[in-house]
A and B are shown apart, each in its own frame.
Chain A
């Protein structure tokens, strides 16, 4: 068992993380000199069905660009991190921090940064791709790292015994070893990517007043204009893309990835059955048949192409290797230069920003943090209130579990952000205020993580334990207390950690909403951040709100969740 860090070490970790984030943040603002958001103009958005395919295409291209970047990044980063203890010690905590930071909060900063690099639409596009990238890269990089780290020693030694090093070692051993985890995480990342894609398109069209053509902005506009028909068509288009991608790309890919799995390292990840197709099947067998016929040729072609490709057969050329070495040195030098200059500029900018006169609103930050935390807690309580009974019901009735799982999968892979305009407008119309809407929006960013983890936990409760409690005649309530609840506790904690991560992101979107040129907001940290970003443009306030958010997230993670996780995996692990 790994040694557990002490509280002092944890606290230092939080502090160092905060400092790094502050500098990175400041780096963004150091480059914003020339960029004002005021003079941004995007193409005009049309809410009409004839434009929908184009918008869907734009969104899809953004996703693809971000995913390709994330894929390249994750392989390079993961391999480097697995290279040695020293690399690992720096690069893993960096991922840990990057994962727990609410990326949505950085979107405005990213717009500033990229627009100052490349003016106009291209800058905003880059910002959007960057945001999606940050939601996809980390878990994939971790997947690569874990794959290389868990490589059986004898495989490594066998290759070394044959004198295989460098490129050969990479393509014959390391890359193939990464494939299963990389594909599995790609699917997760793709789902997460949709969430953030829609989010940044909504931000762009809403508070940032920049029209980024895409599905998210289309949905927002349609909701804004009260065009229900177009809104629903847009949602259906989104659903169609998600299901098509699943059937055409991810399904064949995960089957292909199975070839790379080490037989003796049994799969611990839940194999993704095509739950969506099962749902379609239960809706109507004809729909399923039509869908199968439509996708079969394409999926078949991809499948054949993958099958006929031996894993990573590439030209093995001395000239190529020499060229690669030169390119590598150049890349490292450029990277070093950029990082050093960025850090320097960032530190200067940080100091300059902090020396500005502090606005009186700073004093409200603690109260706003409290208000936002309460909203998060309310959303978390609602999540638990329905997912735990669902999980218990699933544990008592396998039939219910079989029906719930694919349904949850299809609903959960729909980016909840796509429903934001609908929810906000409905709730504002009914209650006239934003508070309930805000909690509901956070809920959409939280609940699925809890549910999926609980369902996975329930499915892993050993059959003999279930038989034992039945055989001893435990009552229903006693069974919950002695078996079901303790058994799902580790999954509950894991799910909660992910859910809070999603919740923080949703918080930023949920406390501040622009609808029909009216800004709806509540008192909270997210709203404060948005206010500073879009209204006052006060760099210091943006910095401080983001920092306090990151601080709360890190403190909660280190002092609450990590501890609960330790306890849960220590005591409630099923491994006897």
Chain B
């Protein structure tokens, strides 16, 4: 049984003239242990798709099956990492990370233990009591990541997680994310990442889904067979990047 199955998902939004379709008839499955990247031009509904998977938004039509069951409301086995970090400015780093644990009714001392484990994993030691506004962008996204990992989700959803960061910070964080994902002691083995940076998708993912714009449809479903660690300067890397690029350009 696949971990996640999207069946004929469509979503439209009310608009000045009737409704605006954002996603149309989108179907795909995600198997256990996969790192899937979803790429497409802006306005292709990839963020909307992520919110439908999480249960933040309902599809206009179609079904989302998680482990064979229809998703109803928020799927608490998922955790979302935001492009804008979405940290509570009035909570310390530690309190932000404990947010999801508190929601799941984890006892205070257990909360603390787990928070400190993930603070350690993402390299935030010494910043436990800092407030988000005192941190750099890269550090903030580390908090966002730790907050998502701390609830130990089966499926990690990432919405353009490195797009708001400068290029050098993004490179570091990508490497750290890969390390975490390959770390067998980590409970997360599935990631769906939405991005518009094609190189990022090629570097990280096992599989790349390409969406077209207006409305979003599935254009291609590519396996990435390149061996890890992947090197941007190698032949295969660029060939795949070019291929994804031309797929998007054809449909734009």
Contacts and interface: CB of A to CB of B under 8 A. Distances in A.
Interface of A: 462, 464-465, 467-475, 478, 482-483, 486, 489, 571-576
B85 interface: yes
19 contacts: A467-B56, A467-B86, A468-B87, A468-B99, A471-B56, A471-B79, A472-B99, A472-B103, A472-B151, A473-B74, A473-B100, A475-B103, A478-B103, A482-B91, A482-B99, A483-B88, A571-B90, A571-B131, A573-B133
Nearest to A489: B90
Contacts of B86: 462, 464-465, 467-468
B10 interface: no
B80 interface: yes
A465 B147 CA distance: 13
B82 A468 contact: yes
B138 to A, nearest CB: 14
B89 A474 contact: no
* In the complex, the 7 A-B pairs of residues with the closest C-beta atoms, listed nearest first: A472-B100, A468-B86, A464-B86, A474-B103, A486-B90, A471-B80, A473-B103
B74 A471 contact: yes
Contacts of A572: 89-90
Contacts of B220: none
A473 B104 contact: yes
Contacts of B87: 468, 576
B99 A573 contact: no
B71 to A, nearest CB: 13
Contacts of A489: 90
Nearest to B104: A473
Contact of A473 (B76, B85, B133): B76
Interface magnitude class on chain B: 20 to 34
A571 B90 CA distance: 6
Nearest to A464: B86
B132 interface: yes
A21 B167 CA distance: 59
B103 A468 contact: no
Contact of B102 (A470, A478, A486): A478
Contacts of A486: 88, 90
Nearest to B51: A467
A483 B95 CA distance: 12
Contacts of A575: 89, 133
B82 A464 contact: yes
Given A462-B86, A467-B80, A478-B102, 14 more contacts: A462-B84, A464-B86, A468-B87, A468-B88, A470-B74, A471-B79, A472-B147, A483-B88, A486-B90, A489-B90, A571-B90, A571-B131, A575-B89, A576-B89
B54 interface: yes
A574 B85 CA distance: 13
B140 interface: yes
A575 B84 CA distance: 11
B39 to A, nearest CB: 21
Contacts of A482: 88, 91, 99
Contact of B132 (A462, A475, A478, A576): A576
Contacts of B99: 468-469, 472, 474, 482
Nearest to A485: B90
B160 to A, nearest CB: 12
Given A482-B99, A576-B85, A576-B140, A468 B90 contact: no
